Structure 1
Amino acid sequence: MPKASSNPTQRPKPRERTTAPVARTRREVVERVLAALVVGFGGVAVLGFAATLLHIGLRDSVPLFAGVAWQLAFWLPLVALPLAIVSLVTLVVVSAAGRARGR
């Protein structure tokens, strides 16, 4: 096995570790929460669309998809999609207002 070089210019310097916590402003926290809400509501809406399509397509052939829960899945996109849009608009407004104050 070859010996490691003793030339200090050929060795990478060790990285400095930062242990100080990064202070987050209230606006950053609100933006993160709103972004998570947009993704969550969007995911629920997509799953609701898929569940509705499964219910419509397979309710006559598969007894599992004839249940009441699959009928209620029809309401998921009707509720989650408007909430996702409202969260997205709020996120854009909060972000734009924060950047305008920063200038």
Structure 2
Amino acid sequence: MPKASNNPTQRPRQRPSQLAPEPRPGRDRLERVLAILVIVFGAIALVGFAATMLHVALRDSIQFFAGVAWQYAYWLPLVALPLMILCVVALVISNASGKARRR
């Protein structure tokens, strides 16, 4: 059986307690919520695009797609995409300011 190496570069060094990152639950929670909101608003925008395409394509042939509710699907991407962009910008700013404070 081969003997374990004595080379110190092949063993992970123990991190001193001064270099350990401090917990930041508030910022982590904010970044997690913003990331989830980006995904949710993106999904809402995609559903709105699909619903608008269904309404435009099938409103004359299928009575179900001629209803008033399908006309409001046009507004879903118009509202969700700007909100998604604002969440992405807030997420980038939050992440950059956190990294700047750590340095």
On whether the aligned pair clears a TM of 0.5, the verdict is yes
Alignment TM class, shorter chain as reference: 0.7 to 0.9
**Structure 2 residue 97 is the aligned partner of structure 1 residue 97:** yes
Where does the alignment leave 5 or more consecutive residues of structure 2 unmatched? 1-22
The alpha carbon displacement at 1:25 in A equals 1.5
Extract structure 1 runs of 4+ deviating beyond 6 A: none
Supply the distance in 2 between the matched residues of 1:95 and 1:88 (Cα, whole angstroms): 10
Counting matched residue pairs gives: 81
Q: Report 1:1-103 matches (<5 A).
A: 25-103=25-103
RMSD: 1.0
Supply the distance in 2 between the matched residues of 1:70 and 1:90 (Cα, whole angstroms): 32
Q: Which residue of 2 aligns with 1:17?
A: none
The alpha carbon displacement at 1:52 in A equals 0.2
Supply the distance in 2 between the matched residues of 1:29 and 1:92 (Cα, whole angstroms): 14
Supply the distance in 2 between the matched residues of 1:24 and 1:89 (Cα, whole angstroms): 20
Percent identity of paired positions between Structure 1 and Structure 2: 60
Supply the distance in 1 between the matched residues of 2:75 and 2:102 (Cα, whole angstroms): 41
TM-score, L = length of structure 2: 0.76
**Aligned AA (2:72):** L
Where does the alignment leave 5 or more consecutive residues of structure 1 unmatched? 1-22
Q: Which residue of 2 aligns with 1:14?
A: none
The alpha carbon displacement at 1:24 in A equals 5.2
Deviations 1:27-71 (A, max 9, x none): 000000000000000100010000000000000001010001100
